[in-house]
A = this chain, B = another copy of it.
Amino acid sequence: MQAERADAILGFLALADRLKSVERRGRVVLPDGATRRENSAEHCWSLALIATLLHQDVAGPLDLGRALMMVAIHDLVEIEAGDTFAYDAAGRATQAAREAAAAETVFSLLPPDLGARLRALWEEFEAGETPESRFAMACDRMQGFLQNVLSGGIAWREHGVTRADTAPRMDPAIAVDPAFATLIGRLYERAEAGGLLGPAP
């Protein structure tokens, strides 16, 4: 490896470290029972763990390396564009444009071959048309839902999220594979038993 290539990679990694300061709405329960907001780097790790656990339970061939690379890089655009809450309609309306601009900035720091490869992976994740990107998407949505269940639905209640509000996020994940249907079904049961999701208006 040439020194210039090494320096470009190290510069990118320095920028990527900021993902540890991008806060999501979902919360992490601390050892003393208090909670704090989860950051996007932690979210990406949880997602990788979910993908590691589930990849052999889903039907059909899957390139796990490709799926896990997507998981690792899918939120890097948030360094520039910020995290957009799943149930923030106004934020969602501008999200695609903000994130496309961010992708331009973030991936261009890398050596061109690597930048093009990561950008293509991110676009594949966003398009959601391959088995790997659909699997990664389902893990992503399950993780966000699980984090809310684990933390007593604080973020849901803060934003008045109902079961009906979650359907457009969760139904596509459930449709990916029966394994996700079972897992997310169990999480819905816990959310309802705990009164974590608000009643329909």
Q: Tell me which residues from 9 to 57 in chain A have a Cβ below 8 Å from any Cβ of chain B.
A: 9-10, 12-14, 16-21, 28-31, 38-39, 41-42, 44-46, 48-57
Interface string of A1-13 (1 = CB under 8 A from B): 1110111011011
A179 at the interface (CB under 8 A from B): yes
**Interface bin, chain A:** 35 or more
Per assembly, the copies of the chain total 2
A72 & B57 in contact (Cβ 8 Å cutoff)? no
A179 to B, closest residue via Cβ = B1
User: Which of A62-70, A87-95, A152-160, A161-169 participates in binding chain B?
Assistant: A62-70
A19 contact set on B, CB distance < 8 A = 45
A187 at the interface (CB under 8 A from B): yes
B69 & A64 in contact (Cβ 8 Å cutoff)? yes
Closest 4 CB pairs of A and B: A64-B65, A65-B65, A68-B68, A48-B72
A-B contact pairs, 8 of them (CB 8 A): A13-B53, A17-B150, A20-B28, A20-B42, A21-B30, A48-B68, A63-B65, A65-B65
Chain A residues with a Cβ under 8 A of chain B: 1-3, 5-7, 9-10, 12-14, 16-21, 28-31, 38-39, 41-42, 44-46, 48-57, 63-69, 71-73, 110, 114, 117-118, 146-147, 150, 178-179, 182-183, 185-187
